[in-house]
């Protein structure tokens, strides 16, 4: 083995090439915005360290080749090169630990941490003692660079860390995708080969070039923003969240997830441009980034789509609550987009893992179905303890049982005509009573039925039940003009819907004017051709439409004006805002607008005589609410109407 290493024989071109490659990696990393997050930070630190090591090596070799007489400068250059070079491999260890999400596992093994630190500190100590004992390297009388008797420590350190990384990747091979795993193993094998080559043939400066090529390979194959970054928000993507959660649960990691749900985001996206929408998403993410930085809490930020953000906090605890509270308070402040102040409606929930939820599938179900729409910061533990969560998770089975065991029932809520002073119509409402859970709220099973397609069977059940009621002799005695039936967007996407409804009416011999179909503002905002064709067919057949829950969303007035609507139903929130002067103006002008469109008005949620009198003065035609009656099963509804008629002498 050669100890006398003359700089005259060294080939510095490998180092020059390495500098170019490392510069390209740094520039591309910044341009691709791969600068946030612990993993990206470590990667950038590795690249910078490798660049510094290569640059120092270039300077040192240049002076070695020229036999520069200032040995102090040359020693400083070599020491800097060796230090940065030794630092590179431990940083790789940190990178792979972060990539496999096993940092918490390594921390638990204190002895392992100390053992991993020994080679680095031994090598760096030897480097910094060189000016004193010349054990690492020295310059002979002819100014030639000579390896010292401790020089082997550098290679031992490098081989130790590379071997450890190979073992680590084999041990946790399931924590990364196959492509990433192969890329990292190839890199480490190349680095190991380069270390061995340069040790025995020191004139070939291939170590840093091999490192640079390996980092380029990682940059291309592992650090891929298109796979882990959501383009619109700039946060980590839903796919990255799913992969990270699967890995974290597999590693038995303790962490908290803060879910930030923006409930009205989709409403804003209806009228914002694409650039404005993405600006809104990015500003929400940047707020989260700023808050965690101000609080000194490290958290990865993900965007899961549909207005749902997730922040993961390692270890959790009080820091999660602090960050969640700050997020909720900050989200109440308006966001300035294109000269508009946009106020977001947000909900915040803390999930403690694995204490609350212990696997990725259950986590996905909880986020998709069970985040409570409550003010302030809520906790998953509270939701999980409630029977509501059990119903949510078991909803597919509940709906399936309801359809197969006939556990669905149609209730009717009467609608009062102010001018006629009688109940002239009613709204049909579906109810589900499960043997295990009892009554299941419609706001739980209807959305799930729309997702899994069961809404079509439920809708058919409601129509058939209403038609049987309309065709019965007891209905004819009630003096009710028609029944309102809710129609979901999903149902109206079925091409055969209009024909099925018309066929049912013919089957039971019911006049088409005896039913009224209710659609929501969300429905009105859609312009699918199938929906338009269904509405056209039903309207031409003499079936009227009503707009339900007016005022709960961001109405597309153009779509509403173009639809063949006979009635608009004011949401119950309007009825409960009588003490708010500004809202009174909103209600009054909304009523004027609806009347200008030649539609009649049903006020929902009326609970007191004062509410009834108020909306009577405002010229509303119909009243629906608990002031008269809650929704009733068919038999009780018939008794209620007949009893009322007897009292009124009708």
Q: How many CA atoms lie within 13 A of 108 on its CB side?
A: 9
Q: Could you tell me if 637 and 425 are in contact, meaning their C-beta atoms sit under 8 angstroms apart?
A: no
Specify the pLDDT at position 2: 39
Residue 389 three-state SS = helix
Looking at the 3D structure of the chain, how many domains does it have? 3
Q: Is 555 within the bounds of a domain?
A: yes
Q: Is 514 within the bounds of a domain?
A: yes
Concatenated DSSP letters for 399-455?
A: HHHHHHTT-EEEEEEEEEETTTTEEEEEEEEEEEEETTTEEE-HHHHHHHHHHHSTH
Specify the pLDDT at position 6: 44
Boundary (domain end) residue, out of 358, 392, 426: 392
pLDDT in tens, 554-597: 444 555 666 778 888 887 776 665 566 666 777 888 888 888 88
Q: Which helix (H) or strand (E) holds 301?
A: strand 300-303
Residue 517 three-state SS = strand
Specify the pLDDT at position 181: 82
Specify the pLDDT at position 272: 75
What pTM value is reported for the model?
0.67
Q: Is 146 within the bounds of a domain?
A: yes
Instruction: Spell out the residues 6+ positions from residue 332 whose beta carbon is closer than 8 angstroms to its own.
Output: 343, 344, 346
Exposure letters 22-37 (e unless 16+ CB within 10 A, then b): beebbeebeeeebebb
Same domain flag for 221 and 236: no
Q: Could you tell me if 262 and 345 are in contact, meaning their C-beta atoms sit under 8 angstroms apart?
A: yes
Q: Is 398 within the bounds of a domain?
A: no
d(CA 634, CA 409): 9
Specify the pLDDT at position 87: 93
CATH number of the domain where residue 437 is located = 3.20.20.450
Same domain flag for 257 and 206: no
Expressed as residue numbers, the domain containing 350 is 229-392
CA dihedral 32, 36, 37, 40 (to 10 degrees): 50
d(CA 52, CA 40): 18
CATH number of the domain where residue 240 is located = 3.30.70.270
Specify the pLDDT at position 120: 94
Boundary (domain end) residue, out of 332, 357, 392: 392
d(CA 191, CA 552): 62
Instruction: Give the residue ranges of the chain where pLDDT is below 70.
Output: 1-11, 203-204, 223-227, 267, 269-271, 340, 521-528, 551-562, 574-583, 650
Same domain flag for 625 and 511: yes
Same domain flag for 381 and 511: no
């Amino acid at each position: 083995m050669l100890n006398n290493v003359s700089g005259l024989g060294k080939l510095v071109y490998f180092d020059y090439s390495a500098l170019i490659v490392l510069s390209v990696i740094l520039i591309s990393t910044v341009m691709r915005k791969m600068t946030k997050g612990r993993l990206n930070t470590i990667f950038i630190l590795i690249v910078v360290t490798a660049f510094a090591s290569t640059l120092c090596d270039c300077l040192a070799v240049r002076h070695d080749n020229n036999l520069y007489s200032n040995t102090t400068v040359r020693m400083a250059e070599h020491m800097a090169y060796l230090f940065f070079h030794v630092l590179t491999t431990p940083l790789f260890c940190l990178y792979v630990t972060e990539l496999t999400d096993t940092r918490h596992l390594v921390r638990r093994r204190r002895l392992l941490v100390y053992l991993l630190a020994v080679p680095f500190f031994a090598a760096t100590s030897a480097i910094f003692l060189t000016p004193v004992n010349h054990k690492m390297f020295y310059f002979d009388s002819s100014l030639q660079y000579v390896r010292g008797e401790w020089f082997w420590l550098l290679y031992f350190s490098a081989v130790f860390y590379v071997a450890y990384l190979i073992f680590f990747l084999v041990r946790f091979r399931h924590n990364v995708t196959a492509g990433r795993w192969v890329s990292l193993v190839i890199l480490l094998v190349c680095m190991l080969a380069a270390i061995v080559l340069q040790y025995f043939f020191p004139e070939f400066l291939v170590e840093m070039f091999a490192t640079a090529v390996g980092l380029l390979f990682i940059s291309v194959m592992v650090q891929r923003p298109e796979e882990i970054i959501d383009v619109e928000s700039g946060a980590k993507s839903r796919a990255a969240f799913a992969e990270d959660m699967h890995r974290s649960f597999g590693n038995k990691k303790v962490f908290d997830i803060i879910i930030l749900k923006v409930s009205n985001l989709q409403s804003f996206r209806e009228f914002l441009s694409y650039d404005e929408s993405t600006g809104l998403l990015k500003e929400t993410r940047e707020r989260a980034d700023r808050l965690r930085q101000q609080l000194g809490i490290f958290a990865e930020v993900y965007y899961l789509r549909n207005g749902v953000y997730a922040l993961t906090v390692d270890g959790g605890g009080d820091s999660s609550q602090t960050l969640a509270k700050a997020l909720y308070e900050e989200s109440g402040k308006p966001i300035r987009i294109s000269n508009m102040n946009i106020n977001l409606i947000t909900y915040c929930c803390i999930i403690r893992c694995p204490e609350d939820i212990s696997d990725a599938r259950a986590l996905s179900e909880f986020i998709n179905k069970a985040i409570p729409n409550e003010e302030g910061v809520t906790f998953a533990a509270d939701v999980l303890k409630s029977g509501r969560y059990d119903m949510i998770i078991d909803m597919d089975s509940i709906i399936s049982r309801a359809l197969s065991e006939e556990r669905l029932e149609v209730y009717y809520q009467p609608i009062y005509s102010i001018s006629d002073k009688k109940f002239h119509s009613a709204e049909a409402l579906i109810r589900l009573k499960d043997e295990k859970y009892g009554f299941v709220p419609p706001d739980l099973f209807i959305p799930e039925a729309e997702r899994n397609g069961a809404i079509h069977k439920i809708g058919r059940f409601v129509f058939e039940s209403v038609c049987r009621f309309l065709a019965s002799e007891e209905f004819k005695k009630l003096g009710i003009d028609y029944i309102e039936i809710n129609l979901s967007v999903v149902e109206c996407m079925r091409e055969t819907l209009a024909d099925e409804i018309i066929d049912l009416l013919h089957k039971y011999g019911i006049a088409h004017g005896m039913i009224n179909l209710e659609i929501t503002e969300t429905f009105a905002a859609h312009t699918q051709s199938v929906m338009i064709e269904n509405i056209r067919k039903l309207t031409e057949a003499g079936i009227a439409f009503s707009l339900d829950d007016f005022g709960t969303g961001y109405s597309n007035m153009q779509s509403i004006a173009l639809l063949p609507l006979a009635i608009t139903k004011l949401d119950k929130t309007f009825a409960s805002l009588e003490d708010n002067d500004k809202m009174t103006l909103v209600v009054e002008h909304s009523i004027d607008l609806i009347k200008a469109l030649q539609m009649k008005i049903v006020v929902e949620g009326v609970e007191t005589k004062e509410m009834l009198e108020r909306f009577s003065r405002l010229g509303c035609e119909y009243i629906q609410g608990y002031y008269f009656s809650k929704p009733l099963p068919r038999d009780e509804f018939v008794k209620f109407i007949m009893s009322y008629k007897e009292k009124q002498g009708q």
